[in-house]
Structure formats: C-alpha cells, structure tokens
Structure 1
C-alpha cells in the first residue's frame, strides 16, 4: 500500500484527534461561562451576594498554589498536558505517527528552535503554538528555580536556618552589655581553644553581625553565630539548639524595668516548656530586685538571677566609701586576672581551714562549699573548720588549672600592731542624678553611716515627687535615723545650678546615670562626664589653694595642664564616683585621673559571664553584693604590720586571720594597680604602712 493511501486511510483518525484537542482546550472556558450565566440567572432576585463559580475556582487555585510544593507539581502537569495536547494536534496536521508526534512535541517544548523545519501551514501553526507553550513553561521553571535559590539565600542571610551545635553558650536578647559579655566569654573559652556563642535576637542578622564585626577585641578562637527570632517562640528556640546549650543567658531589655522583667519571666516560661529539656542552666539578668522571687519561683533550680541595677547601686556605695574598690571588682569579676573557682581536693580532707589557707602557692582560699549543709558555700569560715570528704574549696586563682595544693609551709605567727580604731564620724554625701533603686542605696547608707550624716540629693526630679517615689520603693524618709536627706532641684549639667551647692564640703559625690537616659548609653555617659568636669572645676576654684593658681599657670606652661592639675588637687579633697555605662568612656575619664568610676554595664557583663561558666559562683556574688554578710574591704597597712617590716604574704595572711579576715591582695603605695592573688607568697619583702591591703571580711 502506498504512503498516499495510508494517509487517506488515517485522515478520519487525524481529524478526530484535532477535534478532541480543540474540544478539550475550549471546554473548560465554555463550562465556566455557562455556569456563570446560570448562576447569575438563579441569583438575580436574591439579595444576599453569592460568589460565582469562576471566582470560587480562582480562590481554590490560590489556596492550592499557596503551598510551596504545588508550584513544581503544577509545572510538571502543565508540561505533560502541553505534550499530550500538542502531540495530538501535531499528529492531526502531519504525516507522523502518534508516537513520533509526541516525541517531536517534546523536542519543541525543550528547544523552541526545532520547529523551524516544519512543512505546511497547519504543521507550522501547531509547532509555533507548542514552542510558545514551551517558552512559557521554561520561563516558569526558571522563575521557580530562581525563587527557590533566592529564598534559600535570604533564609541564610536573615538567620532562619537551624544551628547544629552542642555545648555552646546561648544568649537571648541584645543590649549594650553584649560587647563586654562577648569579650568575657571569649576570654573564658581561651583555655579550651575557643568555643561557640549563639545569639538569638529580634534584630536583623546582618545588623547583628555588622555590630559584632566592629567590636574592638580579639575573640581568641571563639566563634559567634547570630540568628533572628524571638525567644518567646518555641520554634525559634529549637532553631538555636536550646536544649543542647551548656549555658543560657537572658539579657534584660533596655527601658522600663517592670516590662523588661516581665519579658524575662515569659522567656523563662518558654525555656521550662522545652520538651527535650535543657542541658545547661539559665542566667537571667533582671532590672528590679522585687521581681526576682517570681522568676526564681517559675525557673526553680534551673535559673540563676543577676539583679544588675541594684547590684551596681550597692557597689557604688561601697566604692564611694572605699576609693579604688571599683578597680578591684573589675579584676575579680573579669576573666583577665584572678577569679573564683570551686574544686574538691581529697588530699585536704581532715585539714583545718587555717592550714588550707597557706596550702596553695598560686591561689587564695576564700571559703568552703559544705557538703553536709546541702552544698551551701560558707565564705570566710572559722579557722578550726575541718574539711570533710565531699567539701569543695572556693579559691581566687588565675585559671581553673593553674593551682594545686602543696605541702604545708612553715609560717611564722605574730601579734597584730596595737592601734586604736577611730570611731565613725558623720559624713556628708551628694547624689547627682536619680536612679530607680535610689531607695535601696539610701537603705545601705543608713546601715553603714554614723548618726548625723547628711545625704544631699540633687536632680531634675521635682522635690514634691521624690518622697512619693521613695515611699513607693519601700523607704519612708521619716524613719531614717542616721541619715538626714537634703533635697535640691536642678540640672547637673548646668553650671549655675551646681554652683548653688556647697561642693567643696562633701566627703564623697556620686554621679548617677539618670533613669531618664537609661535607653541611651552615649547620652548618659556624656551627661556624667560633663557633670564630673563641672564639679571638679567649681571645686578647684573654691578650695584654699586657689590663690596659687597664677603661679601654677606659669609653671605648667599651658592653661589646659594647669586646669587639669587643679582638678587633680581638688580630687584629694573629696571622693567622686561616676557611673559609666560604656567602657569606651572610661578612657576619657582615666586621662585626667581626677575620679574613680564604676563601669556598670561591664561589671554586670562580667558577673553574667562568671555565673554562666559556673552557676555556683552566683551564691558567692550574692553574698558579696548583699547588704549583710562578707564583703571586700580595703584596709590600711598599719592594721597588720609595722613600717618597713619584712614579711611574706603568707605571714600577712596569718595576721589577717586574727581579725577574722582573708587577705586576698594588696596595692603598694607606689603601684598604679592592685595585685590580687600575688605570686611568690612565701617570699619575704619589705612593707610600708602606706601600703593598702584587700581583705574579705564580715565587718567593716
């Protein structure tokens, strides 16, 4: 049979294929049109609005395509339908068999240029239509692939991918303390060769990484990973492997204290609800000590709290009464120098604490974790306390692997010099600014100052509001016995307001970071720095040596040098403690050497890092910062030795024990910095009564 006869015999089948193709392509549109017409006629007299079938179908398609997997499936179905209908149409207008027509259709879809060899008008029209459909499908496929890649890159850029880490430190939130906190954690991880810190914050990941990149310290092998998300959402917590973290730090939000603590409470609730459980402990930074019991009630033994604001307030009082204490606390809390460590030593079992004190050449024992008393840490215990089998020794040391007990050395014991301890005299203090916990600071002063002392309070808070604020904080000014409050209203950065105060008569002046500027670290520090310079300048002009100013100017060689020298001389007349929030501001203050400062944010970061490394240390810090209990004091050398006496540090430690004190360091009269846990404790050296000693003691 000839080819012509074969084509003639197949014409009815090809015509049927063409009819079927046109019918199935047109039928959906016709059906929708008819259904819309019928729907409009049936609902013409009905007042309630009805949705036509075409819109219902469009809505159904929108729902289907809202699923990510529906798009590639729809694209695959569209490709198969195009090949099926295109092959059927191509079969009806060409001499190809049905299988060949389907193959040619696929080649037109895959490569649109293949239809150029088509012969005949019908074949060319069908081939062009198939090629156009192929171009459309190819464009949709490229769009899907591009969207998938962009979505993945965007997910990585915004920190939406999961963190596959374990035994890492997790920080929830972002605040001004993060710079110092990361620095301390990096130093702590240095002995381990580095570590991993994961930060979960609601900030953009790129912004967090840019801010971390600007931090001016070496991470010492520690790697920081940032993720965007909320610690209140369980999915975001799982994204940062919360259950595998060795420690979780919850930072307080800047702003309102109650709102910040309420958010911290919700975060603790979210952490306790993690199904897998938590491997590590949780360290929560709170803003108000009144909210601490509720957070501990919810978190139980899992949670350790650090009440930052109240701790700094009490520390500023201690520093005002003991100049130089701020530097000592920086050395003890930071991981750069000596810090607290707890460890069990079986070879010390059966020894008295007095002998344990001189058993460590490279550490200073400060207390005992008493196993028989539910693991309570006893600071500065009695000399005759006997170390039991499961007790742990609390020491101040350079690192956890830098100290070991040695054989008991022979230490000479001698009596303390006989001196008369002067009685307390009334003091006159000035507060510049207003803190949220100022009522707690007044309570501390009431307990430590002699009767007849005066506390002048100078701030922009109206006087009629101050008593209400103090009473709301739990302090009734009328019940104060030792401290008399004197109120003055004014702006501490306006010179004429400061000049109305008797600045030359105060024993100590505290410049507080005002609560109105808590959200802005730069503005708060700028205000404190301006107040400090104004106070010193006013003092320098009022003090008795002001008549020598002209001579000093000629000898100094420049007006600026003379001005700084006058303020330095004025600093000998009264103690000024300035609260600094940003550690970078400290360099501006230290240049003139005219004041002491408390780096509140940095000290809180150090405490958070220390508790994150070992939760037991929080018991130690709580007692040291509390109103009652053992504290760190700076003592005069004349309490322990005679001038130019030759003694070893171990011998001085034994003398300090006669006063129920633990000697942890000293500062020589000619030194710029204190020496905590000094080396060569057994070596004798010449001491001066001008030297000062740092002790851990129960009573002032």
Structure 2
C-alpha cells in the first residue's frame, strides 16, 4: 500500500494492537462498550418513568441504581465512601462468581475433551483387545458379539490412532446391535506400550492385532508390506511382548500380515504368544481348494462365523479308552473331526478309526455351540443295505484358466501344481507385462502344470470369446491389486457378466471362483450353482476371531488349508450310500468311517444356487432321515 494509511486503517491497527494485549484489554473494551450502552439507556429509563424524581440529585441517584443493577453492583445509596465500598464488594463478588463459573466450565470442558479423546484407563477384565483400525474391525466385532451372546457381560476394547467418537459412530453404523457385549474405544498408538496400557492388556482374554489398511495413490489396494502396513503389525507385537509393564503370564495374541515374506519376521516379533497368519497364503490356498470343489467357500464361511456351526474342543470321559471310530457315532447333534491329544497338545484331524482316545484327549467336533458337544444315547441302527463302496476314478489332466492378476497369483499357481496330475495346463489372461514375466519365472518350478500367459483385457467380451472357455475345467477370476478396490470389484463384476453370457452360449455352467474385495459386491454378482466367492479380508477376520477364542484352532486351520494335510472334501453321495434310498445320517457317517473319512454334512445339488446356504447342510441331526439324488455330495474331512 502506497501513501499514508487512512484514519480507518490507523484505527483498526490501534484496535488490533489493543486486543492483542490479552485479557485486561478484553475486559477494558467490554466494560467501555457496556458503559456506553448502559448509562444512556439508564438515563432514558429515568426520563421515561412516570415517577421520575423532580430534583437533579434524585434523578442521578435513579440513573446510578439502574446502572448498578445492570452490572450487579448492588446500587447502594449513601455517602460517597459507602457507595465506593459497596461497589468494591460487589465487584469482588462478581469477580469471584464469574471466576468460579469459568473454572467449573473449563473443568467440565476439559473432562469432556479427555473423554472424547479416549485417554482414560479401561478397567475391564477377560475382555478382547483390538489393536489398530481397518475394515477388519467390523466383522471381528460382529463375530465377537455373536460369540459372547450367551454371556451376561462381555467387552471388546479397541485402541487405534483415531478419534474415539468417530470410531464409536462407525461401529454403531456397521454393528448396530452389540447385545450383551460392550464396545469401548480408546485413542492412542498401538505401537506405543504406554498407550497400549490404556486398554488393560494384562487382564485381557486375548489380543487381536489388526492388519492396517494399505494406502496407495490409486486407493487402498497396494500391498501392505510396500507402505509399512506389515511393519506396523511387527511394531505392535513388539510393543506388547517387550513392554516393561507386561504381565508375567503369556498373552494370547492373534495377528495377520498381508505379504507372506513378512510372516517369519512377524512370528519372531510375537514369539510363542502370537498366532500369526498370512492373508496372501490363506487366500491363495482357499482359492485353489475352492476352484476344485464348488461350494467349499460356503462351508468355510459357515465354519468360521458364529452364526452357524463351528469347531469346538470338548473332553468326554465316557469315550476314554474307546476308538475314534466309535466317537464318530457317539454324537447325534455334533460331528467329530479329530482329536486334541492331551499328552503333547498335538492336533490329529481325521485320525485312523481305530485310534484309541486317551485320558486328557479332547474331541474336536463341529457343533452349534460349546455346550452342545454332548454324547447321545440314541439307539441308532446302521442300514447295511444302503452302504456302498466308492467307484474307482482315474485322475485326469485338468485345464485351468486364470483371468486377472495380483500378488497372490504366483502362490495360486504353485499351489495348484501340487493338486493336479501331470499333463495339466494353466493359462493366464491379464493386462500388462507383470503377469507374463511372473509366469515365465515360475514355470521351471512346476512339476504337473504347463503354464502360459497372454495379454488381454478380461472385461472385453471379445477377449473372453477368443479363449475357448468351454475347454477349461476351472476358471479363476482375480481382482487387480494395483487399482482402487472398488474399481477392481467393478471390473470383476463386468467379467462375471460376460462369463454368464458365454455360459448361455455354451449351454452349460462354468465352475468359476471369484476373488472380491468388498463382501457387499457379492450380492450384486450374477451367480450360478458352480460359483464361489472368496473375500480375503472377511475370511481372515473370521479366522482371527475364531483363533482369538481358541488358540488351538490355528493348527486345525493350518492343517485344513495345507495341501499335504487333511482337507474338507465334497464327495459324491453315491460313493457312500445308495441314491434314492431313505437313510439316516448315522448310516452316512458309518459308511464314511469305513473309508477312513469323517462325515460332517452334505450338499443338495438342487439347492446349490439358493442363498444363503447354497444347498450346504453342516452337522445335520443324525437321527433325521434323508435320501440323496445324483449330483448331491457328502462333506467329509479326509486325507485325499
């Protein structure tokens, strides 16, 4: 600005400087403004009063009384000294009252802000602690609420570097009914031992370390190991296990990492106290197993969530000294699948039927709840006429088509190689050169698969029509992880629409396994009887919740997901009992036992496209009678 400043600018500058002097200046300005307003109005009140005093002295007294009453100064009238002293006392009383109100208000505001910040100590006991924040919070909280529904009082405590009220609002929106479970949020760093102390981990039943949501310029889809997400899990585990204030007894900690190559470091950080899973590895194994057995994803979701039947471990003294084969038929509303050996804590899934149950062993069974694993005295009879022997089947080379690409694809290919017979082939179609380079690099490691790759846009119908889709036994659709998750699911849905159209042209269904990011998109997908959907985050969240309630389940699922261990299979029902023959499930279990299998349910092919069960019935009441048709399956736990 050139030239001399204007009078208005000078006045504003002077006013700003005066106000910047702090509280005394503010009080002075407030007093001056009030006097400028109050005194003239007091004069007008005296002038407008019908009983206005006639003398100037009395009029001034009335003006003084109106002014004093406005400022709460008492308005005493008397000698000048008396008035002065009364004003001083009134000012002191006014200052004291104002200060007291200010202090109370300030204290209440500070307390409210402290509560809002979530910095108070949690005094719960036997609660579940969640460290961190991601989309895993909501399914985990929901499952814990379901798991604790039979308890009078339970608590879930969350510590995250996020506003407490914001966390509570999000949870209330996604999990509106928490039943008897109290959800408590605290604000703090999960990597700071002092902040972790706020959630009272010393008295917690279990601690779940959430996998941070990875962020990238394209959206939350980048590998968590690329942006430090897995590193945060490692630091959080160290903050818990290495804290000087930690308890003497071992913690029960559950965690998951996004990238498999961070698994070993994370397990070292957690030590023997932590059960650590690899999201990539489990997702890849589940995709492979499901691609070979349509309906398997529904079975796992049923076993992993607390709304259906789950794995429980129960000691049964009446079965000690008897065989595992006898235990298979000892329950009518529970389905044994193995033993937890009391001697060394080893897990034995589907042991030999003549395995003797020892003192201290516990039965691993699929059941509705932990209190429903009860031995039955029902006098069942095995229908020997209905039991059949399985028809021999010669394994044939298979062909697999993979549409799309992400960081789990190489693991999927190497896992598939362990399942298929020699001479099988796998073809990948994906955009860019990353997939082609990776396939070429992994080809030398494959023993049974002949892998190939071509570039193409899987969302274009022309690309899919050129692939001779009808010549493939299995189709796997993977979501890209270098783009936004919503965009990846959108592309997956478009690809599924084109595949459904090709099915109509071929006149038969394609067995498609689809990987999705958001479980809500599953409801939008065009499905058929042979479709399966894998939502990695949801599966891992459910798995972590199960393990947090029972640490032995980590080894159960390790065995089920491993290619060399026992797995869940959907076998033709005609390999166990005669079709169209009325039997009870005791007979099915006995037939499976003779083949060295543990039967846990069945699937109706006629209901395979009907949600939510898609024809799956786990742990049926063995007393109920049923008959199977062609295409129906018996669900068993078996070696192969």
Fold in common (TM above 0.5): yes
Whole-angstrom CA distance in 1 between matches of 2:338 and 2:528 = 39
The offset of 1:422, in angstroms, is: 2.6
CA positional deviation for 1:526: 2.1
CA distance in 1, matches of 2:224, 2:177: 32
Structure with larger Rg: 1
Q: d(CA) in 1 for partners of 2:327 and 2:134? A: 42
Query: Is contact 2:391–2:575 with CA below 8 Å preserved after alignment?
Result: no
- Conserved? CA contact 1:434–1:459, under 8 Å: yes
> Contact conserved, 1:413 with 1:654, CA < 8 A, in 2?
no
Task: Tell me the residue number matched to 1:254.
Answer: 213
SS state of the match for residue 387, structure 1?
coil
**Mapping of residues 114-125 of structure 1, within 5 Å:** 114=74, 116-117=76-77, 119-120=79-80
Partner of 1:209: 168
Corresponding residue of 1:657: 593
* Equivalences for residues 630-645 of structure 1 within 5 A: 630-645=566-581
Does the C-alpha gap of structure 1 residues 205 and 408 become closer, same or farther in structure 2, counting only changes over 3 Å?
A: same
Determine if the alignment matches structure 1 residue 392 to structure 2 residue 362: yes
Structure 2 CA distance for partners of 1:663 and 1:535, relative to 1, 3 Å: same
**Alignment partners' CA distance in 2, 1:118 and 1:533:** 96
Match of 1:83 in 2: none
Alignment correspondent of 2:116: 157
Q: Which of these residues, 402, 406, 429, is aligned with residue 372 of structure 2?
A: 402
- The answer to whether 1:675 aligns with 2:617 is yes
**More off after superposition, 591-600 vs 259-268:** 591-600
Alignment partner of 1:181 is 2:145 = no
After TM superposition, the structure 1 = structure 2 runs for residues 105-120 of structure 1, keeping only pairs within 5 Å, are 113-114=73-74, 116-117=76-77, 119-120=79-80
Q: Is the CA contact (8 Å cut-off) linking 1:166 and 1:244 kept in structure 2?
A: yes
After superposition, the Cα gap between the structure-2 partners of 1:419 and 1:213, relative to the gap in structure 1 and judged at 3 Å, is closer
Whether the 8 Å contact between 1:231 and 1:267 is mirrored in structure 2 is: yes
Instruction: Report what 1:693 is aligned to.
Output: 634
Structure 1 or 2: larger helix share? 1
Match of 1:267 among 236, 240, 256: 236
Which stretches in structure 1 are left out of the alignment for 5+ residues? 1-107, 544-568
Corresponding position: 1:345 with 2:316: yes
Structure 1 residue 662, shift from structure 2 partner: 0.8
Q: Residues 219 and 124 (structure 1 numbering): CA distance in 2 closer, same or farther, change over 3 Å?
A: closer
- Which residue of 545, 559, 562 corresponds with 1:626? 562
Query: Does the CA contact (< 8 Å) of 1:194 and 1:220 recur in 2?
Result: no
- Is 682-691 or 305-314 further displaced after alignment? 682-691
- Contact kept in structure 2, 1:176 and 1:521, CA below 8 Å: no
CA contact (8 A) 1:244 1:279 kept: no
Whole-Å separation in 2 of the counterparts to 1:654 and 1:447: 30
The aligned counterpart of 2:151 is 192
Match of 2:519 among 583, 603, 613: 583
State the shift of 1:355 in Å: 0.9
5+ unaligned residues in a row in structure 2: which ranges? 1-67, 215-222, 608-613
The alpha-carbon deviation at position 535 of structure 1 amounts to 2.7
Q: Give me the whole-angstrom Cα distance separating, in 2, the residues matched to 1:116 and 1:292.
A: 82
Contact 1:663 1:696 in 2 (8 A): yes
Q: CA deviation at 1:133?
A: 6.8
C-alpha distance in 1 between matches for 2:533 and 2:272 = 35
- 1:441 & 1:656 partners in 2: Cα distance? 30
Q: Deviations over 1:249-301 (max 9, x none)?
A: 11101223322221111111111134241675111122123322322223222
Describe the shift of the 1:115–1:596 C-alpha distance in structure 2 as closer, same or farther (beyond 3 A): same
Match of 1:236 among 191, 195, 202: 195
Q: Is the 8 A contact 1:115 1:131 kept in 2?
A: no
SS of alignment partner, residue 401 of structure 1: helix
Q: Which residue of 2 aligns with 1:307?
A: 278
Q: CA deviation at 1:126?
A: 7.5
- Which residue does the alignment assign to 2:473? 507
Normalization by structure 2: what TM-score?
A: 0.80
User: What is the TM-score when the length of structure 1 is the normalising length?
Assistant: 0.73
Q: Is the 8 A contact 1:643 1:689 kept in 2?
A: yes
2:52 matched to which residue of 1? none
Distance change >3 Å, CA 220–CA 138, structure 1 → 2? closer
Tell me the matched-pair count: 552
RMSD: 2.8
Distance 1:273 1:613, change over 3 A: same
Gap change, CA 1:650 and 1:460, over 3 Å in 2: same
Partner of 1:616: 552
Change (3 A) 1:293 1:229: same
Match of 2:56 in 1: none
